[in-house]
Structure 1
Amino acid sequence: MQPLIITIMGKDKPGLVDALAKCVYQHEANWLGSSFAHMAGQFTGFVEVHVPANKHADLVEALNRLPDLSVQSVTPAKGPASFNDTLAVQIIGNDKPGIVQELTKILNQFNLNIVSFTSRCESAPNWGNEIFKAEAVIAVPEAFDDDALQTALEGIANDLVVDITTQN
């Protein structure tokens, strides 16, 4: 079996994931994991599959023929990533331009790897401005100082709330 990462994007409508799943199944591939989102009227996401070597090219060709989707397939690099210690980081604060860049800059300064990252803005019901919310899972070295990271992240803005928990 060969690993294959499939990225998709298209105008959102019912049946897109079903069409993708049928295509994967018809080529005897195993659906290992996926993440999808709806943004600005578009449906986007990625899927990891394992496909028999003799079906790989046929699956890629079939994926490219799917209607209403822009599909890109990538064969991942050798050797799966392994993360022994991870932290879950939740961040809430007033939205402002550059907040994601400020957050990722700090993670990079600590030489941390982002395993997953989701963010969104929501209307603050009593204030009328946007509240930024983000959730990240980050890989950290053994015996990492969570407190130093929390202090650095909270230093971005006075109103930023950061919650860090260890994951197993």
Structure 2
Amino acid sequence: MNHLIISFISQDRPGLVDTLSNAVSQHQGNWQTSSLHHLSGYFAGVIEIAVSAEQTSDLIDKIQSIEDFKCQIETANANQTTTHADIVIELTANDRSGIVQEISSVIHNQGGNLLKLVSSHDSAPHSGQELFKAKATISVAENTVDDLINALESLADDLMVDISR
């Protein structure tokens, strides 16, 4: 079984996910994991599809033939087991330029690997202050989790960090 990682962007239009899922279904593929988003009139995402070796080439051709659909497709091995802990952190702080760089730098410098980051920009309920909110999944050596959290919390007084495992 091959695992296709498909990243794409397209002008948003009705039926785009239906078109993709039909192509996967026609080639006996299995839609594994995805993250799809509407962003300023565009539809963008990343999808992991499991498909037999015999169907891989035809499925890639079918996806690449979708009209006005820009994509990159890579073939990957199935997930490997890891000795690292996966932790999920939720971050909230006053929004400021460079906050993602600060957070990603701390994660990297503490030996973590950022697996997933979902962020948003909101207004605080009472003050209207612009807030940065993010949910991140990080793979990190079990014995360094506390150091990573301490380093994140020391970035700024207004940064709140909630952790789950």
Q: TM-score, normalised by structure 2?
A: 0.91
1:161 aligns to 2:160 (yes or no): yes
Partner of 1:17: 17
Q: CA deviation digits over 1:45-97, x for unaligned, max 9?
A: 11111222122111111111112321221112x46343452111111010000
Query: Distance in 2 between the 1:112 and 1:14 partners?
Result: 38
Mapping for residues 123-162 of structure 1, pairs under 5 Å: 123-146=123-146, 148-162=147-161
1:122 aligns to 2:122 (yes or no): yes
Q: Classify the secondary structure of the residue corresponding to 1:75.
A: strand
Preserved CA contact (<8 Å) 2:111 2:141: no
Preserved CA contact (<8 Å) 2:118 2:135: yes
Q: TM-score, normalised by structure 1?
A: 0.89
% of aligned pairs identical? 38
Deviates more, 1:151-160 or 1:93-102: 151-160
- Judging changes above 3 Å, is the alpha-carbon distance between structure 1 residues 30 and 75 closer, same or farther for their aligned structure 2 residues? same
Q: Classify the secondary structure of the residue corresponding to 2:150.
A: helix
Query: Distance in 2 between the 1:44 and 1:145 partners?
Result: 32
Give the AA of the match of 1:50: A
Partner of 1:107: 107
Unmatched segments (≥5 aa) in structure 2: none
Give the AA of the match of 2:18: D
1:59 aligns to 2:43 (yes or no): no
Preserved CA contact (<8 Å) 2:3 2:78: no
Runs of 4+ in 1 over 4 A off after TM superposition: none
Residue 128 of structure 1 and its aligned partner are, at CA, apart by 2.8
Query: Distance in 1 between the 2:45 and 2:52 partners?
Result: 23
| Count of residue correspondences | 164
Q: CA deviation digits over 1:86-113, x for unaligned, max 9?
A: 1111110100000000001111111111
Preserved CA contact (<8 Å) 2:113 2:140: yes
Residue 31 of structure 1 and its aligned partner are, at CA, apart by 1.3
Mapping for residues 16-35 of structure 1, pairs under 5 Å: 16-35=16-35
Q: Classify the secondary structure of the residue corresponding to 2:155.
A: coil
Query: Distance in 1 between the 2:149 and 2:113 partners?
Result: 16
1:36 aligns to 2:61 (yes or no): no
Partner of 1:46: 46
Give the AA of the match of 2:134: A
Unmatched segments (≥5 aa) in structure 1: none
